[in-house]
Amino acid sequence: MDLFDLAIYVNASPARLEEASNGARPSVAIVENKRWVRGRQLLEQARENRLELPLIFAQFEPLTSWALARDIVVHESTTEYRFAKLRRLRGHRRSDLTLDSTGGPLPDSFIRSYAIVRTPPFLRRAFRTPESYEYERSTRDMVADFLRERGFANVRDQRKPYGESISQAVYATAADGERIAMRVRLCWRRTGRAILEQTYSAAQLLHNIKNSGWEATLAEKMEREQAKGITHLLLVQRDQNEICYAALIPTEDVLPIWRDQRDMSQALIDAGQLGKREKNHAMNGTSPTLWLQDDRAPAVAEVLWKHPRVRDVAAMPKLSPEPLPNEVSSPERVIEGARSQIVVNAYERDSRARRACVAHHGTRCSACGIALGEVYGEIAAGLIHVHHLRPLSEIRGEYELDPIKDLRPVCPNCHAVIHRRSPALTIEEVRAVLARAKGA
């Protein structure tokens, strides 16, 4: 699980905390002479969103430790709370925390024993495990090939580290020729350890909102992205070893979709259709969130998928994985050859070659100029064959294949025409055939 965007600050004695601590199991209850009404609400909201609510402890100015809230019981004039996984903090003080109510720092002279603060970045870094960082890296590694397999060409993956986090932008050409610059946002991680993980998918768009409010903060974020040349957000949900959801959203549509999901969620809450849930889907702690799936409230995710300008990239057909005779599939430079007998002659091929060819040349036919997605619509977007300029039947032994020089994308019709004759027609000859036919 990840951490909730808000946390509870508590002034407590380290000795008292150590005495109550029970490792990964819930601690002995600690009583506070204050009613933590909002704290209890935050714990419920965190659980609804499968997140952990942090408790941050201090004694005087220094922050001493933090833990995960396990229970908060509010009585008439007191509160009992339990925690787990108590961990020490070093080098941080009260003023490193941000009060949720004001957006300003928690004063070092703060005398109250309880406050609601925004979860600080240093806590997120402490909470994340090496496994979590590896999962993020490997998921981001999947994106470029995922797009190529669905007909995007000239795919370029650009990443910038921000501390231990990563900002990822991917630049590509869609099957219809549109140049797209997409900011990749990863949805909540599915670890495979909880059944409920399969029932929801959402991506947080920001860690925190500013004092200007939800809509203004999100609008400012999208304006900054547009100023950097980003045209779309790509929200990616990984499940096991594949990407199961990928929503491509124009940046100018992000705020309207978020607003519509917010309004839909609130309508369901007001109608009592979400049971005890009171927290709006789109307003997740202090983070604007877009939902790709929620089996408990499917109408919320439908707002996104039914938007006319949102593309469901995961639903796009993959490029044909079965090459025809004289096709090859590989990236940089690949050794190819080694004939084998299986009913008809087949050749050992590296599937990277096909992706490299399409990434460089695109998915428009080199002979007739047609992009099948423009003719048949989304069902054929990215559909293309790859033609090997040198017939493999003429090759003996091994040779070094250059996917950029030796392969060309061609539509199925032109590919069939190329092989109507032996030796095969060249792409230039097919163009001439087409020109004569049009002139007849």
* 216 CB-side CA count, 13 A: 4
Per-residue pLDDT band for 399 (boundaries 50, 70, 90) equals low
Q: Which residue, 70, 63, 69, 64, is CA-closest to 6?
A: 69
- How confident is the model at residue 193, as a pLDDT? 65
pLDDT by residue (tens digit) across 135-147? 888 999 999 999 9
Measured CA to CA, the distance from residue 379 to residue 121 in angstroms comes to: 43
pLDDT interval class at 337 (50, 70, 90): very low
Kindly state the tokens that stand for 179: 């140049």
Q: How far is CA 387 from the centre of its chain?
A: 34
Tens-digit pLDDT profile for residues 246-298: 999 999 999 999 999 999 999 999 999 988 777 899 987 678 999 999 998 99
Pull the structure tokens for residue 83.
């925690």
Neighbours of 395 (CB within 10 A): 16
Res. 344: pLDDT tops 80:
no
Would the pLDDT of 440 be above 70? no
> In this structure, are residues 170 and 257 in contact, taking their beta carbons and an 8 Å threshold?
no
C-alpha to C-alpha distance for 141 and 49, rounded to whole angstroms? 27
CATH number of 2-126: 3.10.590
The percent of residues above 70 in pLDDT, for the chain, comes to: 87
Mean pLDDT of the chain: 85
pLDDT score of 356: 77
Tell me the pLDDT band of 327, cut-offs 50, 70 and 90: very low
Taking 60 as the threshold, does the pLDDT of residue 339 lie above it?
no
Q: Taken in order 228, 232, 237, 241, is the CA torsion positive or negative?
A: negative
**Section 351-380 average pLDDT:** 82
Q: What is the per-residue pLDDT for 326? A: 45
For the ranges 25-34, 179-188, 334-343, 379-388, which has the lowest average pLDDT?
334-343
Q: Decide: residue 65, CB within 10 A, 0-12 exposed, 13-18 middle, 19+ buried.
A: buried
Q: Where are the domains of the chain?
A: 2-126, 130-315, 334-439
> Could you count the other beta carbons within 10 Å of the beta carbon of residue 275?
9
Q: State the sign of the Cα–Cα–Cα–Cα dihedral 265, 270, 271, 276.
A: positive
Cβ-proximal residues to 262 (8 Å cutoff; 6+ apart), any chain: 214, 280, 281, 282, 283
Can you count the helices (H) and strands (E) in the chain?
12, 23
What strand order describes the sheet that includes 283-284?
A: 200-204, 287-294, 283-284
Give the contacts of 231 (CB within 8 A, at least 6 positions apart). 179, 180, 181, 182, 250, 251
Predicted local confidence at residue 333, as pLDDT = 47
**What is the model's pLDDT at position 394?**
65
Determine the average pLDDT of the residues in 43-47.
Answer: 88
pTM for this structure? 0.58
Instruction: Please spell the DSSP secondary structure of 116-138, one letter per residue.
Output: EEEPPHHHHHHH--HHHHHHHHH
Answer yes or no: are the C-beta atoms of 106 and 115 closer than 8 Å: yes
